């Protein structure tokens, strides 16, 4: 992880082996190949990020605060570890891409539970919870990817933009209350 953080998505197996004080063949015995390394990095990254998102989703506050806090938790996490994020999103093998896709599905499932609870609490049909959750997670993921590459605005502004878009959209369902709720 230190080498990937320092060298980015193109970190070489030689540099990784040297960092941990082993030869490249020994590293390959442990990971089999670069795909095995990518898989291990993806698992570690996903576990840590999911823990942060679950904490955010499990903390109290108004629904809008919950939304903003969770969007911010995701963006803050990828901002803290941009080279590992880029290694997984842009430079890794199919096994890591599969791990990342599975992770995004797990996050969407977690979000769908919260969205469903909020819809039921508002007395409206909760059938939209799952597709909306997948849409929300996809939107935040892709917006975060764009933002991390360009950094055209402070993270707080992006959080507010995304939160406002979602919250105002939810207002028509009876769940959101517009930008001020």
pLDDT along the chain (181 residues), means of 10: 91 91 90 83 88 86 90 96 88 69 87 88 90 94 95 97 90 63 45
Give the CA distances from residue 124 to residues 76, 108, 119, 128, 138, in Å, rounded to whole numbers and listed in that order.
32, 20, 5, 10, 24
Question: What is the pTM for the complete model shown?
Answer: 0.84
Q: Rg for the chain (alpha carbons), in Å?
A: 19
Q: How many domains does the chain have?
A: 1
pLDDT digits (tens, 9 = 90+) for 150-171: 999 999 999 999 999 998 887 7
Which CATH number covers residue 161? 1.10.357.10
Any domain includes 67: yes
Any domain includes 30: no
Closest CA to 176 of 145, 136, 140: 136
Any domain includes 105: yes
What's the domain range around 87? Answer: 39-171
Report whether 117 contacts 43 (CB < 8 A). no
User: The dihedral of CA 14, 19, 20, 21: what is its sign?
Assistant: positive
Any domain includes 13: no
Phi, psi of 11 (to 5 degrees): -50, 130
pLDDT digits (tens, 9 = 90+) for 107-127: 899 889 988 988 898 888 899
């Amino acid at each position: 992880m230190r080498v990937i953080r320092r060298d980015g998505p193109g970190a070489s197996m030689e540099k990784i082996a040297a960092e941990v004080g082993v030869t490249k063949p020994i590293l390959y015995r442990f990971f089999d190949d670069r795909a095995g390394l990518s898989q291990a990095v993806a698992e570690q990254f996903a576990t840590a990020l999911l823990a942060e998102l679950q904490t955010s989703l499990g903390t109290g506050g108004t629904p809008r605060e919950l939304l903003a806090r969770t969007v911010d938790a995701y963006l803050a996490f990828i901002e803290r570890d941009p080279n590992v994020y880029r290694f997984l999103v842009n430079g890794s093998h199919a096994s890591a891409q599969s791990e990342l896709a599975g992770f995004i599905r797990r996050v969407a499932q977690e979000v769908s539970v919260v969205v469903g609870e909020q819809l039921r609490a508002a007395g409206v049909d909760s059938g939209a919870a799952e597709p909306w959750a997948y849409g929300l997670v996809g939107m935040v993921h892709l917006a975060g990817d764009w933002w991390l590459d360009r950094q055209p605005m402070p993270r707080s502004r992006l959080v507010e933009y995304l939160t406002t878009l979602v919250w105002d959209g939810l207002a028509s369902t009876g769940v959101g209350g517009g930008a001020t709720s």
